Amino acid sequence: MGTKGVFQLSFFKKLKEKFTKTTENITKTFTDGLSKTREAVVEKITQLVKRSRKIDEEFFEELEEILIAADVGVHTVMELTGRLRKEVKERKITDGNELQPILAEQLTQLLRKENEDLRLHMNPNGLTVILFVGVNGVGKTTTIGKMAHRFKEEGKKVLLAAGDTFRAGAIEQLEIWGERVGVPVVKKEAGSDPAAVVFDAIEEAKRTGADILLCDTAGRLQNKVNLMQELSKIVRVIEREIPGGPHEVLLVLDATTGQNALSQAKTFREVAKVSGIVLTKLDGTAKGGIVIAIRNELDIPVKFVGLGERMDQLQEFDPEKYVGALFADFLQGAEDERETEKEQG
Ligand SMILES: Nc1nc2c(ncn2[C@@H]2O[C@H](COP(=O)(O)OP(=O)(O)OP(=O)(O)O)[C@@H](O)[C@H]2O)c(=O)[nH]1
Ligand SMILES: [Mg+2]
């Protein structure tokens, strides 16, 4: 391998180091959860590279198609291939294989905004209140259950508020999660005012000295005015009872809905101060490129991703882990190549 090859590999090496530094479990959750997207994107690109003799316009057009099919979003794809074209020209790249690490590097750059903190804002002194919003069926309640589990594992005292008083069975569903995880749930009868439930929950959290209150909400969006009124009433109650709260308003989006998720985000941003996104069901889609579109087209950070239905399949979003999981086979390949080189002396 020439010096150019070594240079190309340096990004993969860094990526791999970051990827393997995290625990085996997290790496596995990401690689397993993204397997459908990996097959649809990276495997197709690999085939394209094998088939193409040179990197020409046709090559870029096919590459664009693959990325768009994975829901990366036309706008973002154009930006990405624009950068790739430039790199190919500047670094005088003729071998498609050398493109993979550059693509990985560009993707990581697109996903990581300078000085952005992807961690959840927590109240340094007292109760942290997190509100979950989003349309029907995106995974709000499940995410609350998973997050309650995470916080509990960290030794935090968690309380849940059954703020979805609208959908039949919603309160019971949250209660089941509460039992499963071992955290209490504050509820009122079905049909009550969600803001009143949240008020009660804050009282209960104060009384019992809870560290974190996670508030569920109903997932309707048929009527924007209603939604706005309902959400702003809940937010007002939290603001009044807990200075600085809500510390996070997390918009839950379903990755399998693709570009639709983007338009939901735009709507919710108008009605609530969304501070972060939880992108669920990434495991269920080959269109996991939506993470990149969301990151690039909205000014809201993706803070968590859902990679399966199990309690432990919610992960903090990390650009390196995401890109690392997409290019997992390559990282492995790069490693093998280095080993062989070492052996050959
Ligand atoms: N595969 C997979 N399924 C998920 C994930 N997150 C949630 N789900 C599933 O998505 C379905 C809907 O989840 P809910 O948590 O009920 O969604 P919701 O937003 O609370 O829905 P409403 O209460 O109707 O507004 C359930 O079957 C969950 O198990 C995920 O990350 N991966
Ligand atoms: Mg729900």
Q: What does the pLDDT look like over 159-180, one tens digit per residue?
A: 999 999 999 899 999 999 999 9
Q: How far is CA 310 from the centre of its chain?
A: 16
Q: Give the pLDDT of residue 224.
A: 75
Tens of pLDDT, residue by residue over 282-326, are 999 999 999 999 988 888 999 999 999 999 999 999 999 999 999
What is the number of the ligand 1 atom nearest to the C-alpha of 173? Answer: 16
Site to substitute for ligand 1 among 149, 253, 280, 283, most atoms within 8 A of C-beta: 280
Q: Give the pLDDT of residue 11.
A: 78
**Does 223 score more than 60 pLDDT?**
yes
Q: What is the dihedral of CA 16, 296, 33, 184, to 10 degrees?
A: 110
What pLDDT band is residue 329 in, cutting at 50, 70 and 90?
confident
Separation of CA 332 and ligand 2 centre (Å): 39
Residue 115, both tokens: 């000085």
Separation of CA 165 and ligand 2 centre (Å): 10
- Residue ranges around ligand 1 (CB below 6 Å): 134, 136-142, 164, 167, 170, 219, 252, 280-281, 283-284, 306-309
List the one residue out of 300, 310, 263, 305 whose CA is nearest residue 285.
305
Q: Give the pLDDT of residue 339.
A: 56
**Does 7 score more than 60 pLDDT?**
no
Separation of CA 188 and ligand 1 centre (Å): 22
Q: Using alpha carbons, list the distances in angstroms from residue 152 to 124, 174, 210, 312.
A: 17, 16, 11, 12
Separation of CA 327 and ligand 2 centre (Å): 34
CA-CA distance, 185 to 178, in Å (whole number)?
A: 6
**Does 1 score more than 50 pLDDT?**
no
Separation of CA 138 and ligand 2 centre (Å): 8
CA-CA distance, 247 to 129, in Å (whole number)?
A: 6
Higher pLDDT, 258 or 132: 132
Name the closest ligand to CA 143: 1
Residue 47, both tokens: 């085939």
Site to substitute for ligand 1 among 37, 131, 142, 280, most atoms within 8 A of C-beta: 142
Average per-residue pLDDT in the chain?
90
**pTM for this predicted structure:** 0.91
What is the number of the ligand 1 atom nearest to the C-alpha of 144? Answer: 15
3-class SS at 276? strand
**Does 266 score more than 80 pLDDT?**
yes
Q: What is the dihedral of CA 189, 191, 196, 201, to 10 degrees?
A: 40
- From edge to edge, which strands make up the β-sheet containing 185-186? 185-186, 158-161, 212-215, 128-133, 248-254, 276-280, 302-306, 314-316
Phi (first) and psi of residue 306, to 5 degrees: -95, 125
Name the closest ligand to CA 145: 1
CA-CA distance, 128 to 270, in Å (whole number)?
A: 24
Tens of pLDDT, residue by residue over 24-78, are 777 888 999 999 999 999 889 999 999 988 899 999 999 999 999 999 999 999 9
Mean pLDDT, range 103-116, rounded to an integer: 87
Separation of CA 252 and ligand 1 centre (Å): 10
Q: Which residue's alpha carbon is at the smallest distance from atom 29 of ligand 1?
A: 309
